[in-house]
Amino acid sequence: MNCVGIIGYGHMGSMLVKGFLASGALHADEIVVASRSRQSLDACAATWPLIGIAATNADLARRCRTIIIAVRPQEVGGVLCEIVPVMDGDEHIVSLAAGIGLKDLEAAFTGSVTRVVPTVTSAVGQGTTLVCHGRQIGMNDALRVEGLFSSIGNVVTVSEDDLPAATLLSSCGPGLLAAVIEELAGATVRTSGISPDRALALATEMAAATAAYLRETDEAPEDLIGEVATGGGITEVGVQGFRERLPAVFDEVFAAMLERYGTVGK
């Protein structure tokens, strides 16, 4: 009954199973998985023979105290309708779905609920999982879920008002940064004889090294820029170009993403 249940064995569900097991946060016999298709469940059982497989979402809810819902936002309502009637009320529902608010979760279930936003980089134990607890959360449930997700990276609690913008940064951010890396590599290829593979490898390493440098030295980006962009030098030309054009581009992109966020799951 103290098991952690994961409903939805897609990108996030499978990443969580792998992360919780690899980090040692959970043993295989402490995890139960349910998913819509036989194919996903067979893949799960083949990869992790010792974890529990539930025949239905309701079956999982009967067997677990912490229930992580890792389905797409438009599927959350249906899942809640299946599990809540078989629950005692002292379980903890943890939803990953963007756009499904604490109010929506608490309307369906009066016990402990938490919204959690991991990131694709949690798969390599890096990045931040955002956590936002509901009104009924007890200390033990809060600590348990925060401890669980800290096994796959950093955990930061945020207010629900700040969750959309924080999600763009932490969870969508890897996609945005990957697009920037792609552009840097693309510009290198277009202005040289360097192959696309080589340019991408150079760009990826540079991005990882820059993030590591900022993290380890605790320098602000501005300080790093000051060290690289000497007056009248090459980098200064690039930084100036970015500073003139990027704020408008980033504000526009964020506004569009926030608008889309507001429509997810509706």
Residue ranges in contact with ligand NAP by CB under 6 A: 7-13, 34-37, 40, 57, 70-73, 75, 78-79, 96-98, 117-120, 171
Return the number of the residue (93 or 199) whose C-beta is nearest ligand NAP: 93
Instruction: Give the residue nearest to ligand NAP (CB).
Output: 10
Shortest distance in whole angstroms from residue 185 CB to ligand NAP: 22
Phi/psi at 162 (5° precision) = -90, -10
Return the number of the residue (36 or 63) whose C-beta is nearest ligand NAP: 36
Return the number of the residue (168 or 199) whose C-beta is nearest ligand NAP: 168
Q: Are 132 and 29 in contact (CB under 8 A)?
A: no
Number of H helices, E strands in the chain: 11, 8
Q: Are 238 and 183 in contact (CB under 8 A)?
A: no
Return the number of the residue (112 or 119) whose C-beta is nearest ligand NAP: 119
**How many C-beta neighbours within 10 Å does residue 143 have?**
10
Q: Are 25 and 52 in contact (CB under 8 A)?
A: no
Shortest distance in whole angstroms from residue 42 CB to ligand NAP: 10
Could you tell me which of 139, 137, 134, 69 has the C-alpha nearest to residue 102?
134
Return the number of the residue (9 or 149) whose C-beta is nearest ligand NAP: 9
**How many C-beta neighbours within 10 Å does residue 71 have?**
23
Shortest distance in whole angstroms from residue 215 CB to ligand NAP: 22
Shortest distance in whole angstroms from residue 74 CB to ligand NAP: 9
Shortest distance in whole angstroms from residue 60 CB to ligand NAP: 9
